[in-house]
Amino acid sequence: MIKRYKTKQIFVGDVAIGGDAPISVQSMTYSDTKDVEATVEQINRLHFAGCDIVRVAVPDMEDALALKEIKSRISLPLVADIHFNYKLALEAAKVVDCIRINPGNIGEKSRVKDIVKACTQRGIPIRIGVNSGSLEKQFENKYGQSAEGMVASAEYNIKFLEDLGFDQIKISLKASDVQRTVDAYRMLRPKNDYPFHLGVTEAGTIFHATVKSSIGLGALLLDGIGDTMRISITGELEEEIKVGKAILKDSGVAKDGLNIISCPTCGRIEADLVSAVSEIEKRTAHIKAPLDVSVMGCVVNAIGEAKSADVAIAYGKGQGLVMVKGEVVAKLNEKELVDRFVQEVESAALKEENK
């Protein structure tokens, strides 16, 4: 059983982050933000894919000025990503739901003060987004690009905001190195109760980003650390959401949809299990009820797995069993098994939803 760190709850638009709120999944558009049509189109794609919060880059004033129209055409909470120029944050703060600043490159603290003032007036939070590759000089000189340096930067900036009476804060500590990312979050977690935005940055193509994020974010989630997250993938927008949701589900943090238990390649398999599981995955993708289902290739482990599964199939030679809560409900030819299994899953999902 995962015990989550109890963090302070903040809101990005209508999405709660921290406290007992579900862990949200975020992503970021790659359009030129000032191209309103393209940006709205990407945000809508993310929304459709199940994204909870979206962030857009704001590299110049034209981008900042475009945010008003973007905001009026979307319903996802909007975060403005600001580097270097604090004036962009002041403009963005007039319309967005959260400002992300990289304290290492925003410059003099008087500028951060102005950003805090603008966010206080609108009642919106700030993400202190520390990146190991762009730490403030004093921390990089002392600690290099280490987890210690990231934590020192985060603590310094938290204190700066707190001294201004501002506590609507969330924090990220991202590095492209998995170990350093995990170390930094683990080090900082006991020192405050602000919600954490998790991510391994610049994680690469979908294959490597999935592996790195599963290791890094998975380790943290199992420690009870993390309130919102983004998976960085050099790839398409929808993939970030798909991988993020899968990490939450497969780490056991989120109960959402089917948990499919199925056999690996094995010399005892007595059916075309690869096709069966892939068909089951497609036909049950719409199901949101948290069910455990097992699809087993022979009787060796099938009965054992079926006992703890809501619905199960045990394949034999040319035929097999469908089981519900460990009880056999049908013995059918191989061709009929998937249909019956999907029927039983849908009916179990309906019961779960009506509970």
Q: Which residues bind ligand SF4 (CB under 6 A)?
A: 263, 266, 268-269, 296-298, 300-302
Residue 280 C-beta: closest distance to ligand SF4, Å? 15
Structure tokens at 150: 């990231």
Q: Which residues contact 204 (CB under 8 A, 6 or more apart)?
A: 212, 233, 234
The type of residue at 9 is Q
Residue 320 C-beta: closest distance to ligand SF4, Å? 12
Structure tokens at 72: 């009026």
Nearer to ligand SF4, 271 or 349 (CB): 271
Residue 267 C-beta: closest distance to ligand SF4, Å? 7
CB 93 within 8 A of CB 118: yes
Nearer to ligand SF4, 50 or 316 (CB): 316
How many other C-beta atoms are found inside a 10 Å radius of the C-beta of residue 232? 20
Residue 52 C-beta: closest distance to ligand SF4, Å? 36
Show the CA angle centred on residue 27, arms to residues 52 and 242, nearest 5°.
80
Nearer to ligand SF4, 104 or 297 (CB): 297
Residue 151 C-beta: closest distance to ligand SF4, Å? 44
The type of residue at 279 is E
Nearer to ligand SF4, 187 or 261 (CB): 261
Residue 301 C-beta: closest distance to ligand SF4, Å? 4
Residue 165 C-beta: closest distance to ligand SF4, Å? 59
Nearer to ligand SF4, 187 or 269 (CB): 269
Nearer to ligand SF4, 135 or 295 (CB): 295
Q: Which residue has the tokens 């921390």?
A: 139
Nearer to ligand SF4, 269 or 332 (CB): 269
Nearer to ligand SF4, 73 or 307 (CB): 307
Residue 281 C-beta: closest distance to ligand SF4, Å? 17
Residue 342 C-beta: closest distance to ligand SF4, Å? 20
Q: How far is CA 307 from CA 12, 260, 325, in A?
A: 42, 14, 6
Rounded Cα–Cα distance for residues 79 and 96 (Å): 6
Q: Which residues contact 236 (CB under 8 A, 6 or more apart)?
A: none
* First-residue to last-residue Cα distance in the chain: 23
